[in-house]
Amino acid sequence: MNILVIGKAKTGTTVISKTIQKSISGPTQYHLEPKRIGFFEQEHFAKSDCSHVVKIIFEHWSNTPRMRNAIIHNEAVLKFDKVICIVRDLRDEIISRLMYLIYPYQLEYDLKAEQITAWIEILEKKEKSPRSIAFVELFREFEKIFKVSFSGELNHSIIQSKIYYDFIQGPAKNSHRIKYEDFIAGKLQLLEDYLGFSVSSDRSVDDLERTKRSVTFNNWKKVFTPEDIEFFKPQLSSILEQFGYWDWELEESDKLESEHYSGYVKRLLSNQ
Beta bridge partners of 5: 55, 84
pLDDT tens-digit profile of 46-95? Answer: 998 999 999 999 999 999 999 999 999 999 999 999 999 999 999 999 99
State the Cα–Cα distance between residues 217 and 148, nearest whole angstrom: 27
What is the percent of the chain where pLDDT is above 70?
95
Q: 2 near 28, Cβ under 8 Å?
A: no
Residue 119, pLDDT > 90, answer yes
Report the pLDDT value the prediction gives residue 211, as an integer from 0 to 100: 58
Residue type at position 113: A
Q: Per-domain residue ranges for the chain? A: 2-88+169-211, 90-155+213-270
Question: What rounded mean pLDDT belongs to the chain?
Answer: 91
The rounded distance, in Å, linking the Cα atoms of 1 and 177 is: 18
Distance of alpha carbon 241 from its chain centroid, rounded?
19
Could you give the CA distance from residue 235 to residue 254 in angstroms, rounded to a whole number? 28
| CA of residue 52 relative to chain centroid, distance | 21
Closest by Cα among 85, 88, 76, 84 to 11:
88
In this predicted structure, the answer to whether residue 272 has a pLDDT above a threshold of 80 is: no
User: Residue 195 and residue 182: Cα distance in Å, rounded?
Assistant: 16
Higher pLDDT, 124 or 153: 124
Q: Is the pLDDT score of 229 beyond 80?
A: yes
Which region among 24-38, 44-58, 66-80, 156-170 has the lowest average model confidence (pLDDT)?
Answer: 156-170
Tell me the pTM. Answer: 0.89
Over the stretch 190-215, which tens digit does the pLDDT of each residue have?
Answer: 999 999 999 998 888 766 555 555 57
Please tell me the predicted confidence (pLDDT) of residue 13: 94
pLDDT at 232 (0 to 100):
93
